[in-house]
Amino acid sequence: MFYKLKTVLKCFSKEKYVFFDLNDSSLALAKNIAKNKQRIVLFVLDKQLADNSVKQKIKTIGARYFVQWFNYHSLICNQLLKKVLLKNKTYLFFFSGLDVVNLKSVSKFYDSWTNDEYEKVRSCFELIVRTQNKLTHSVIENYVNNAPFKVPYSLFNDAELIAAEVVKQFPPIDTLTINTQNAKIIDTYETLIIGFDETGEAILRKLIEATQFVGTQFKATVVINETNECAKHYFVNYPEIKNHFNVSFLNIDAQSNKFYEWLNQQNTIKQIMVSAGSDKENIFIASEVSISLSNRNISYIPVIVIARDNEASFWKLRNWPFLHFVGMNETIFTERKVLKADYLYKAKAIHQFYNQLKPFAQRIAWEQLSDIKKETNIAIAESLYAKLKLMGKTFEEVKQMSEMEFQLFLQAQPERLLNLAIAEHLRWNATYFTNGWKTWHLKEIPEDSPHQNEKQKLHACLVDWNALKEVEKRFNIPFQFNDFNNVLITRILISNYFPEV
């Protein structure tokens, strides 16, 4: 009773982060959040499952727990808990590894409140929902948007988090030779992806987006069994990828002699990703690939392994050469990544900057942006590192320049500025293509239509740089200027909006 009272008192005075699912992922995130002593991290437990071992796990990471009886209809059925959660800001995490469980929990959350509580709930809560399948994303989104009352929410996908981390830890641009005088690359980025689960697919899409520079060729080989079905599914969801990017599927067993015979003939691969199944299978395949590369004296190629649990920790401690682990719970499930506090903060800053340039009546709040508009802002934030690499500058060097010095630097090499703008357009195209959009050809667009159709995922600007001029003439909008502007504002963004970089 004393423990519950103490927990309640803390909840009344602090910002709260509340979990309903106890697993390795939720414990990892809870531990990360609990480092900030000004908050309280709370696990709400079903009394039937709240044994001493469960309670001890929670205490060990610096979190607290509240025990109640769960019922079929209500997630928050204890009146004391309701009062506690309605005091100050409360983040609710639905962290089951099963999408259907998270959807049911979200439904039960809404059923927990009466009509006269809606306004208070709306101002106090934010929902963070985990998904494993991108198709579930739209199902949950539709449910929340049509719920009896509106609550701020965000959805995150394990595979998308891991893919973003792969590109952040191992930037493809670091594998390429850059001419910083003209921001051009005469090189091919070639990757091998072994396995094509949800994470492998997300990694491929993120790599496409991260390798769009003037002069660069993209090539990806995906090793997987039952290639035809997988490729068919992939290109149905992302129809323009096969038209613009060199992606091939190789139907072969990654643990067979035939595969290693094929691998031994490859000499231009820049990075290898392994996402074939379980951690054990991934680590075994990756170690065999690493040995094969070492035998050919090309062991400098990084082999990036997607691994999540203790088996990855064991191999990581052994410092196995040339294996790089991504996806472990303690590094992926952090507040900065799950709540997108880093890139999302930057993306909102970019949106705010452009919003202020518009007439007041045309400004759109971040929350009202469509998913693709949010994605394009996030992509600008994620691409800053590569953009500076193309310039031959670091974040610190740009921050130390005055605005006039930076603009003179850009204008000193007109070809460089042009190639940087073209790279912006290429990356923007890739963001749309890897989110399922298609080119809306001018001859197909009705006379009085706008240049995009979000419902059908069609956009007239999804063309190469030179063809963009024709689109500008048709709609009388200076689309190329936007790409130049994304380059020109680089120092303003870094200095004023990203001071921690």
Give the pLDDT score at 2. Answer: 44
Secondary-structure breakdown of the chain: helix, strand, coil percentages, each rounded to the nearest 5: 50, 15, 35
- Angstrom CA distances, 230 to 209, 342, 350, stand at 21, 33, 36
- Angstrom CA distances, 219 to 119, 191, 245, 473, stand at 52, 6, 7, 33
Give the pLDDT score at 404. Answer: 96
Q: Which residues, 6+ apart, have CB-to-CB distance to 333 below 8 Å?
A: 25, 26, 28, 29, 32
Q: Start-end ranges of CATH 3.40.50.720 in the chain?
A: 163-332
CB burial of residue 333 (10 Å; 0-12, 13-18, 19+): buried
Beta bridge partners of residue 163, listed in sequence order: none
Cα–Cα distance for residue pair 292/297, rounded to 1 Å:
9
Helices (H) and strands (E) in the chain — how many of each? 25, 15
Q: What is the pLDDT of residues 87-112, one digit of tens each?
A: 888 999 999 999 999 999 999 999 99
- Number of CB atoms found within 10 A of residue 220's CB: 21
Give the pLDDT score at 495. Answer: 83
- Number of CB atoms found within 10 A of residue 414's CB: 10
Q: What is the pLDDT of residues 164-215, one digit of tens each?
A: 999 999 999 999 999 999 999 989 999 999 999 889 999 999 999 999 999 9
Location of structure tokens 């959040």: 33
Beta bridge partners of residue 306, listed in sequence order: 326
Residues of the chain with pLDDT under 70: 1-13, 227-228, 299, 310-321, 340-343, 497-501
Cα–Cα distance for residue pair 35/41, rounded to 1 Å:
10
Give yes or no for a contact between 200 and 158, defined as CB atoms under 8 angstroms apart. no
Q: Which fold has domain 2-151?
A: Rossmann fold (3.40.50)
Q: Classify 392 as helix, strand or coil.
A: coil
Cα–Cα distance for residue pair 198/160, rounded to 1 Å:
9
Q: Classify 106 as helix, strand or coil.
A: helix
Cα–Cα distance for residue pair 228/464, rounded to 1 Å:
29
Name the token pair of 403. Answer: 């605005």
Cα end-to-end distance, the chain, whole Å: 46
Cα–Cα distance for residue pair 489/85, rounded to 1 Å:
42
The pTM assigned to this predicted structure is 0.90
Which of 96, 107, 153, 162 has its CA nearest to residue 130? 96
Location of structure tokens 């990757």: 191
Pick the CATH number of 163-332 from 3.40.50.720, 3.40.50.970, 1.10.150.120, 3.40.50.150: 3.40.50.720
Give the pLDDT score at 310. Answer: 59
**For 31-179, where are the E strands, in sequence order?**
39-46, 64-68, 90-94, 125-131, 153-157
DSSP state of 116: G
Give yes or no for a contact between 117 and 148, defined as CB atoms under 8 angstroms apart. no
Give the pLDDT score at 1. Answer: 46
Which of 301, 308, 195 has its CA nearest to residue 253? 195
Give the pLDDT score at 79. Answer: 87
Give the pLDDT score at 41. Answer: 94
Which of 183, 114, 186, 189 has its CA nearest to residue 149? 114
Cα–Cα distance for residue pair 417/325, rounded to 1 Å:
37
* CA angle at 169 for the pair 303 and 281, rounded to the nearest 5°: 35
Give the pLDDT score at 439. Answer: 97
* CA angle at 352 for the pair 351 and 353, rounded to the nearest 5°: 90
Q: What is the pLDDT of residues 350-364, one digit of tens each?
A: 888 888 877 888 888
Q: Which residues, 6+ apart, have CB-to-CB distance to 111 below 8 Å?
A: 73, 74, 75
Give the pLDDT score at 418. Answer: 97
